[in-house]
Every structure is written in structure tokens, then in C-alpha cells.
Amino acid sequence: MRIDIITIFPEMIEGFFNCSIMKRAQTKGLAEIHLHNLRDWTTDKHRRVDDYPFGGTAGMVMKVEPVDRCITSLKAERDYDEVIFLTPDGEQFNQPMANTLSLATNVIMLCGHFKGIDYRIREHFITKEISIGDYVLTGGELAAAVVADSIVRIIPGVISDEQSALSDSFQDNLLAPPVYTRPAEYKGWRVPDILLSGHEAKIRDWELQQALERTRALRPDLLGE
């Protein structure tokens, strides 16, 4: 999978992609992450990519021309499955969406800034708009990192134990059950006996019951309740 991220602040997230699972995915050749500085695509001598909005609205708006040049250049080199805009008013990101996007070959992510982007970009270039929550960030970089991480980590081979990713919260529309490790007792706090029993079938039943109980208590909406 190749992910091209268009941003005016690549330094905000370049370190993130050089650590942990994201670095491992790239080292294994399972993912490519390319950061593109939108300022490289403007003809403005001051490298500005924003301007005042028509209509007198407060704030600044990202211009259509540099975005057009950048996306058009990328698409001239390869086909893209999605051109994603990270925006608070997009579709709410979730695990099923991450699962679907993880099957893509090439994806572009556009990080907004300022008051927003010229709406013509959304009308003519963007194929999918994603929000990571009902709140506003300074820019789309953190959202792009969140979405990229969620997608890349479930690509087969990225995580050594693939069953670990498949048992994460939300994969089956349930929150994950509690997990424990050694020591089995600490300050009188004991790990549930069932997990020490070695009885795999009973352990799986316990985990499912715990997942259901936690989901019902914390996220009943996932169960349609």
C-alpha cells in the first residue's frame, strides 16, 4: 500500500511514520508513506497556499491551484483508489472503514488548515471525506496519522501476530475483553482464575462474555441498544 499525504507541515508527522509499527511496515515493504509539502506546488513567491475567503468570512482558505497541481501530478504517475480529505464534517472514521481502506493499493490524504479548503477541491478531487471525531483540530495532520496507522497496522504481515489485530476492539463490533500478564498476583490483586486454567474453550467463552459486558456498559450503541 502507498499513502501520499499532502500537508503544509510535513514536519508535524514525519517522526511518527519513522517509529514502531509504521516504520516496520515500511521496512518490510508492506507500506509506503510519502509526505508532500503543498508549498512546493504554489507559484507564490512567498510560498503562500492560502488567501482571504470571498464573502468576508473570518479566517483564511487554502487555495485550489496548489492542491490541483499536487494531486494532478501524483495521479499522472499512478491510479488512486481514494483521494481523502480529513475534515470535521466528514464521515465518522471507524474500524470497518479502516478494514476496507487497508485493501486499497494507493491512497491520497489531504490535510486541511486555516478556515478550510476552497470547496472546489472537495467537488472535483476528493472521493472520500473522513472525520476522526466531533471536534476541530488545528489541521488535518494528526487525523491523517491516525487514519494511516489504523489502516497500515491491519495489513497482513505488518503485525507479527495477525490474530492480535483481529481481536482488537471494534473488529467484531465489540470492545476488547480485559487482558492481564505476569505476575498472576500483585498486592493481592489476582488475575481471574479462568485465565490460568489452560482450558481454551472456557477462556474464549469468558472473553466473549467480558467483551459483551464491557460493550453493553460502555458502548451500548455498538449493540444497537
Burial of 30 (0-12, 13-18, 19+ CB in 10 A): middle
pTM for the predicted model, two decimal places: 0.89
Same structural domain, 42 and 125: yes
Q: What confidence tier does 91 reach under pLDDT thresholds 50, 70, 90?
A: very high
Same structural domain, 89 and 191: no
Instruction: Identify the residue whose cell numbers are 504517475.
Output: 77
pLDDT digit string, tens, across residues 173-207: 899 999 999 999 999 999 999 999 999 999 999 99
Indicate whether 66 belongs to any domain.
yes
Q: Which of 44, 41, 33, 54 is nearest to 108 (CA)?
A: 33
Same structural domain, 18 and 118: yes
Does 166 or 215 have the greater pLDDT score?
215
Rounded to the nearest integer, the mean pLDDT of the chain is 94
Q: Which three cell numbers stand for residue 134?
A: 466531533
Indicate whether 162 belongs to any domain.
no
Same structural domain, 26 and 73: yes
pLDDT digit string, tens, across residues 161-180: 665 665 566 778 899 999 99
Identify the domain boundary among 152, 184, 215. 152
CATH code of the domain covering residue 187: 1.10.1270.20
Same structural domain, 94 and 177: no
Going by DSSP bridges, is the β-strand pair 185-186/189-190 parallel, antiparallel, or unpaired?
antiparallel
- Find the domain containing 126 and state its range: 2-152
Indicate whether 158 belongs to any domain.
no
Indicate whether 61 belongs to any domain.
yes
